[in-house]
Structure 1
Amino acid sequence: MPFSHDMVCSLAAVADLVNTAPETGGLDGLTSVAELDAYVRRNELSGVEGVGDGDLREVRALRATFLAIFAAPDSASAVALLNVLLERTRITAHLTEHDDYPLHVHYFAKGAPVAEHLAAELGVALAHLLVDGEWERLRTCAAPDCERVFVDESRNRSRVYCDSRTCGNRMHVAAYRARRRA
């Protein structure tokens, strides 16, 4: 499934947000306003004026909801969780062009707090994925020591590692060494 540029960005941003959770195998990556600001800058979220302590609390709660969606046992469960999230979110669709990107749709209300902005933009991207019957693209890394999540954008839905340069390479080297020992 070819994803549009803004959908790729939103899906990458939701995976990045979920991967800041300690449940994904690392340290909590959202413990300060500075870390939230770094997340916003890293994902080039347009329309975010600034972040504060209240935003940090709300985004951390939102992160837990997105983690539950990735961990849902089936598509119906993911749909139910996403519907609850979207029902609580003001969504105001508007067309925009910025930063040399072609015309695309933003779903957040102007001036919305960062958590609501993320709920709208990232929630709608996940909704499109679910509507298109692509729920199985929401994955957890297959490496035994990694719990990071990712969205499989491969054409044949074959990606199993969060990053081929780290987890994928490490697992392939381990398999090669095991074959050589045998």
Structure 2
Amino acid sequence: MQFEHDNMVGVHLAVALVNLESSGPWTPEALERALREHQIRRPRVTAAAGEEIRAWSRRLRPVFEASSQTGLCRTINALLADGAGSVYLTTHDELRPHLHFAPDGQDLQSRVKAVTAGGLAIFTMEAEGERLGACALDSCRTVFVDTSRNGRRAYCRARCANTDAVRRHRMKQA
């Protein structure tokens, strides 16, 4: 399955926000950097907007930890109900036609909620309810989008997979 990066801005932003929240350095500067990296225009973060987006990022985590497609859909539907406004097709900045889930004039936190909820919904539909995950290493809190060819990724990076393999090997030896 091939995924186009342009269609994945919202899902990649959701990953970045969840991982920013779990890694600890939640500052307005770190948040603005993540928003800019994921094509959110005018990402000036006030204290109130930053806290609202942080609370939202905590609501995003269960999407990556869902144990069933039904649970995944229920979680994303709740995000859509609270975060996505009216969906419309648009073109701007010489981009191809694409969906917006909130008008550009809305505040930053509303736009972030809309793009992440909408992006997760579209990706989940295209990936048939698969390919969103949390690292299988117990001590790691990183979430990811699995864009691998076979869609069987269980760890956020090779380092975590190797750490877990060494742990399992040592447990067998003991």
If the length of structure 2 is used for normalisation, what is the TM-score? 0.80
2:28 paired with 1:33: yes
> Considering only aligned residues, what root-mean-square deviation do their CA atoms show, in Å?
2.7
Relative distance call for 1:150 and 1:163 in structure 2 (3 A) is same
Partner amino acid for 1:29? P
Q: State the Cα distance separating 1:87 from its structure 2 match.
A: 1.6
Distance 2:67 2:161 in 1: 24
Corresponding position: 1:58 with 2:55: no
Is the contact between residue 32 and residue 43 of structure 2 (CA under 8 Å) also seen in structure 1? no
Task: Flag the 1:102–1:62 CA change in 2: closer, same or farther, 3 A.
Answer: same
Distance in 2 between residues matched to 1:102 and 1:3, nearest whole Å: 16
Alpha-carbon deviation of 1:168?
4.3
* Percent identical: 26
The answer to whether the aligner puts 1:9 opposite 2:2 as a matched pair is no
Unaligned runs of 5+ in 2: none
1:87 alignment partner, SS class: helix
Aligned-pair distance for 1:14? 0.9
CA offset digits 1:14-35 (Å, max 9, x no partner): 111111223xxx3x232x3222
Give the direction of change, closer, same or farther, for the CA distance of 1:5–1:96 in structure 2 (3 Å limit): farther
**Greater mean alpha carbon deviation, residues 13-22 or residues 124-133:** 124-133
CA distance in 1, matches of 2:8, 2:97: 15
Q: Is the 8 A contact 1:75 1:130 kept in 2?
A: no
One-letter amino acid of the counterpart of residue 126, structure 1: L
**Residue 139 to residue 114, structure 1, CA distance change in 2 (3 Å):** same
Match of 1:91 among 57, 81, 86: 86
| Residue 167 (1) aligns with residue 160 (2) | yes
Counterpart position of 1:43: 38
Aligned residues: 170
Segments of 5+ residues of structure 1 without an aligned counterpart are none
Question: How big is the shift at 1:43?
Answer: 2.2
Q: Which residue in 1 is equivalent to 2:105?
A: 111
SS where residue 88 of structure 1 aligns? helix
Larger displacement relative to structure 2 (84-93 or 52-61): 84-93
Match of 2:143 in 1: 149
How far apart in 2 are the matches of 1:41 and 1:169?
A: 32
Q: How far does residue 136 in structure 1 lie from its aligned partner after superposition?
A: 2.6
- Secondary structure of the 1:63 match is helix
> In structure 2, what is the Cα distance between the partners aligned to 1:37 and 1:95?
24
Cα distance in 2 for partners of 1:78, 1:112 equals 27
Aligned amino acid, residue 160 of structure 2? C
Instruction: Please say which of residues 128-137 and 72-81 is displaced more in the overlay.
Output: 128-137
**Deviation of residue 149 (structure 1)?**
0.6
For residues 153 and 113 of structure 2, what CA distance do their matches in structure 1 show? 26
